[in-house]
């Protein structure tokens, strides 16, 4: 299975080669893999920023635990969840579904109402955590797509979300920085290249009932 081979090849890259850039063609494939990610109800309540700008990345580094990947990778992906799921968002999604599948909008009103009623049952904390969790599914696809293309990546939570929100003007757009991933090519001096993967044994990780 190719996926297993790819998963064994990839690792959370600590040091990127600053001279190597991901091509537009590969970037398009990674974006499509992210676009195809699953999400609750299909709502995709997030936006993904792809930051190339060197000055912005210099600003982000000190609020990312000074991790060198922020400035040294080819591109920095910032997965931002929307901070609420408004009725308008759900109405827009229903309209988009009707148009895409050539369906009568009226036939989808019930589904829209069902989504709204289920989301209304969540507490504010549950909503925040639910919205944030959607971005991790997209992150997973990005990591797998990168691995297949032999592009390195590092998933990261080691950053200050509020500082990102301020620097990138995310609050004004109703967004919050949830998780990030620099992508590019490993530096041959990265001391973590080839380290044995540390994973739980199968018998601890799985239980068949
Ligand atoms: C959500 C998340 C956040 C992470 N944050 C960081 C980080 O801030 N910096 C870092 O170098 N690695 C980070 N990692 C990488 C993990 O430490 C790494 O994936 C894990 O140790 C397994 O190693 P592997 O990815 O090399 O197989 C993060 C991973 C995930 C999934």
Ligand 1 atom at minimum distance from 136 CA: 1
Specify the residue with its C-alpha closest to ligand 1, atom 31: 155
Mapping DSSP to helix (H, G, I), strand (E, B) and coil, where does residue 134 land?
helix
Q: What is the DSSP string of 82-126?
A: ES---HHHHHHHHHHHHHHTT--HHHHHHHHHHHHHHHHTS-HHH
Q: Please give the pLDDT value at position 171.
A: 96
Report how far residue 108's alpha carbon sits from residue 24's, in angstroms, rounded to the nearest whole number: 37
- CA–centroid distance for 71 within its chain: 18
Q: Please give the pLDDT value at position 81.
A: 98
Q: Please give the pLDDT value at position 80.
A: 98
pTM of the model: 0.97
Ligand 1 atom at minimum distance from 197 CA: 27
Distance 101 CA to ligand 1 centre (A): 39
> Which residues approach ligand 1 with their CB closer than 6 A?
11-12, 14, 67, 154-158, 179, 197
Q: Please give the pLDDT value at position 113.
A: 97
Contact between 154 and 64 under an 8 Å Cβ cutoff? The reply is no
Q: To test the ligand 1 pocket, which listed residue (12, 154, 156) has its Cβ within 8 A of the most ligand atoms?
A: 12
Q: Please give the pLDDT value at position 197.
A: 97
Specify the residue with its C-alpha closest to ligand 1, atom 10: 156
Best CA proximity match to 42, nearest among 83, 96, 88 = 96
Tens of each residue's pLDDT in the chain, 209 residues: 999 999 999 999 999 999 999 999 999 999 999 999 999 999 999 999 999 999 999 999 999 999 999 999 999 999 999 999 999 999 999 999 999 999 999 999 999 999 999 999 999 999 999 999 999 999 999 999 999 999 999 999 999 999 999 999 999 999 999 999 999 999 999 999 999 999 999 999 999 99
Q: Please give the pLDDT value at position 65.
A: 98
């Amino acid at each position: 299975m190719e996926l297993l081979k790819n998963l064994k090849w990839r690792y959370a890259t600590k040091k990127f080669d600053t001279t190597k850039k991901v091509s537009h063609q590969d970037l398009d494939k990674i974006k499509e893999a992210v676009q195809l990610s699953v999400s609750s109800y299909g709502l995709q309540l997030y936006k993904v920023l792809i930051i190339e700008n060197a000055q912005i990345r210099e600003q982000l580094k000190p609020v990312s635990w000074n991790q060198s990947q922020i400035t040294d990778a080819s591109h920095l992906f910032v997965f931002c969840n929307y901070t609420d799921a408004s009725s308008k968002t759900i109405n827009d999604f229903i309209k988009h579904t009707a148009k895409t599948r050539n369906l009568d909008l009226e036939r989808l009103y019930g589904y829209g109402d069902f989504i709204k009623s289920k989301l209304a049952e969540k507490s504010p904390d549950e909503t925040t955590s639910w919205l944030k969790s959607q971005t991790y599914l997209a992150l997973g696809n990005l990591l797998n797509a990168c691995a297949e293309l032999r592009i390195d990546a590092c998933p990261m939570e080691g950053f200050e979300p509020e500082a990102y929100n301020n620097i990138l003007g995310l609050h004004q757009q109703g967004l919050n920085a949830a998780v990030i991933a620099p992508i590019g090519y490993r530096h041959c001096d990265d001391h973590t290249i080839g380290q044995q993967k540390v994973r739980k044994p199968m018998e601890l990780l799985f239980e068949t009932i």
